[in-house]
A and B are shown apart, each in its own frame.
Chain A
Amino acid sequence: MPKTLLQKLWEAHEVVPESVDTPAVLYVDLHLIHEVTSPQAFTELARRGLGVRRRDRTLATLDHSTPTRTEQVFGGAPIAVESAARQVRELETNCASFGVELLGLPSRERGIVHVIGPELGLTQPGKTIVCGDSHTSTHGAFGALAFGIGTTEVGHVLATQCLLQRKPRALAINVAGALAGGVTAKDLILAIIGRIGVAGGTGCVIEYRGATIRALDMDERMTVCNMSIEAGARAGMIAPDETTYAYLRERRRAPHGRDWERALEGWRALPTDPGARFDRELDIDATGVEPMITYGTNPGMVMPISGSVPERTADPAFARALTYMGLEAGAPLRERPVNVVFVGSCTNGRLSDLRAAAGVLRGRKVARGVRMLVVPGSQQVKAAAEAEGLDRVFLDAGADWRESGCSMCIGMNGDTVARGEYSVSTSNRNFEGRQGAGARTLLASPLTAAACAVRGCITDPRELLNG
């Protein structure tokens, strides 16, 4: 019987299949850990006298509450947020005492957990990957089954390398048509979320399919899968293909030599078989997608940047969101002044994202009164960007250039947006207070964010790309 990618991965990882009474015992190939959602799990292990079952399948890094200011990362100044400093130290201590590898503050391979997994070649097709972070869906871009878990489950995986899970439903999103100039993978996924809503994928794993998806490079595929959770889905997946293999070949922790050939053979069998049935299917035409921007307080409240804020007077939550954002229904967003521009995060903090933003900023300046922060997704992204002079482009334009981390996407590391300020951000969540109490976030692509920084107001990036 023909099977979906999800079905194949699921069956290959069932230690004990599910029954009516009990969920499946599902094996985890790769467990990624960070400082915020792991301390209580290690405490529980210690309390029970348990160790980490598979240290070779566990990797920790520091990203969420970790500062991005060089002197705080590499010494010379203490970490400004005291509780964050404690959390960083606790992960260091836990990794040392449980024997877990930590890409810590001095490491050149440290970075946002969802950027470093792929970059190191640890994220591979056919793997199950979990992390105490909902954007673990990012890794699905490689044809992995990757999803976020809570801290109790982090403890389960540390102790047993397994999780108790019910099989999710499979949702196919078929995307056809070429993306227009100035339109990016970020705009595509925002358009998809706008279409299906923030709960449209609840209970499902999304497989993104179709010619448009096949044409995306790995960075773009990661951006798409990253925001699957913003549509309520546990995970997003894209079947592996030559693009995937070309990305992974020669990565430090990818298989090499004969192991590579053997792995490749297995990966080629993963894509969904012709005729396999999904629980739901949805078709998206990418040709009409424009640069997108959010106007509200969840990622489903999104519109083409050239449009106007919709009017839904009957919905009190909608009115509340607009009040929070200080925006009016029916009004255009273009030309509205912005205070902050953030380029970074696990959604858009990879090298190609920085190149896109730098392409707009080259030879231009960040508008007076606008604060722009560019935060590479990892130390390796930082080094690569510096090797091609992107840091100079950002610094010359008047932007701030930092060490890697989650930074302003989550605002728990000293990088925040002030109350009432408008922030155009390449991150993934525009929830109330996400970037700081009272902050007003507008999600957009790196191209759009850079264009807004240059003009100091909401700007369609195509104006600057064509000019």
Chain B
Amino acid sequence: MAEGTLTPAADREAMRIHSRTVVLPAANIDTDQIIPARFLTTTTRTGLGRQLFADWRYGADGAPRAEFALNRPEAAGCQILVAGRNFGCGSSREHAPWALRDFGIRAVVSTEIADIFRANALKNGLLPIVIDEATSRWLIEHPGAQVTIDLEATTLTLPSGVAVSFPIEPFARYCLLNGIDELGFLLARVPQIEAYEQRTARS
């Protein structure tokens, strides 16, 4: 049912991510930090990586802040962002996962991830990985750790070889692993939708 799609949801490489981590330990990192509202006047999905965490990454003069984690040389190429609890709280802007993906991030790891952000992330091939407090603490204390996230096995493997399993919505996982397009799935249910509309006089 799924033809080729623009959405990165069909990215089969999302199955396994092997990368060093970049760490932002703060709790409650909201979507206004991930992508400030003034950049939301775009009408496309691409190119937002440059403005990811803009107000933390750049000073008032526009120059990069050398001390910010994402600006450090060792952050180059990192695909896994480890963050404090309640990551992605705030607005429904899908620009937040778009910006993270455009920057090169493929998974966000936290003890808690806000509802709308999590849903948006899954629709863009960005894995929202929720882990326990102890694992989170270890990851926050060891930035740059080499970890593996395996969506098929639903495990995050630490450098020690210890694998921690994470919960993920089974349908989203299935779609990501099999390149299923959710809109295609919904369109295939049009007969049921029509029946519902007739049944409930919503026609």
Residues of A near any B CB (own CB < 8 A): 12, 15-16, 20-23, 25, 27, 29, 36-37, 39-40, 43-44, 47-48, 50, 53, 64-65, 81, 83-84, 86-87, 90, 132-134, 136, 148-153, 155-156, 159-162, 164, 166, 168, 198-199, 202-203, 229, 232, 234, 298, 300, 316-317, 320, 410-412, 419, 429, 431-434, 437-438
Contacts and interface: CB of A to CB of B under 8 A. Distances in A.
Contacts of A437: 36, 38, 55, 60
A322 B83 CA distance: 20
A232 B114 contact: yes
A324 B93 CA distance: 24
B36 A15 contact: no
B76 interface: no
B153 interface: no
B104 to A, nearest CB: 20
Contact of B193 (A27, A43, A47, A411): A27
Contact of B189 (A160, A411, A429): A160
Q: Which of A40, A87, A412, A438 has the most CB of B within 10 A?
A: A40
Contacts of A64: 40
Nearest to B121: A150
Given A81-B41, A412-B38, 9 more contacts: A15-B189, A27-B200, A37-B94, A43-B44, A53-B193, A159-B186, A199-B28, A411-B38, A429-B90
A48 B184 CA distance: 10
Contacts of B116: 134, 148-150, 229, 234
B174 interface: yes
A316 B27 CA distance: 9
A136 B41 CA distance: 20
A63 B190 CA distance: 32
B186 A25 contact: yes
Contacts of A86: 41, 43
B182 A198 contact: no
Nearest to B85: A199
6 contacts: A16-B189, A27-B200, A53-B193, A155-B183, A166-B169, A431-B90
B45 interface: yes
Contact of A164 (B36, B170, B186, B202): B186
A198 B93 CA distance: 18
B84 A15 contact: no
A10 B63 CA distance: 50
A159 B182 CA distance: 12
Interface string B174-187: 10000000110111
A87 B43 contact: yes
Give 4 closest A-B pairs by Cβ, nearest first: A83-B41, A148-B92, A150-B120, A39-B43
Contact of B43 (A22, A40, A164, A198): A40
B41 A412 contact: yes
B131 to A, nearest CB: 16
B33 A431 contact: yes
A295 to B, nearest CB: 15
Given A90-B43, A152-B123, A160-B186, A432 B37 contact: no
Contacts of B66: none
A84 B41 contact: yes
A323 B25 CA distance: 17
B contacts with A: majority SS: loop
Contacts of A21: 170-171, 174
Contacts of A25: 186, 189, 192-193
Contacts of A27: 193, 196-197, 200, 202
Given A39-B43, A437-B55, A134 B185 contact: no
A144 to B, nearest CB: 15
A412 B7 CA distance: 26
B189 A151 contact: no
Given A150-B120, A164-B185, A234-B116, A133 B38 contact: no
Contact of A412 (B25, B37, B94, B197): B37
A150 B89 contact: no
Given A21-B171, A65-B40, A234-B116, A431 B30 contact: yes
Contact of B123 (A16, A53, A153, A429): A153
Contact of B119 (A153, A298, A320, A410): A153
Contacts of B164: none
A425 B169 CA distance: 38
Given A152-B123, A317-B28, A429-B90, A15 B196 contact: yes
Interface in B47-80: 55, 60
A8 B91 CA distance: 27
B151 to A, nearest CB: 16
A202 B41 contact: no
Contacts of B45: 40, 151
Contacts of B92: 37, 132-134, 136, 148-150
A23 B169 contact: yes
Nearest to A25: B189
A87 B42 CA distance: 7
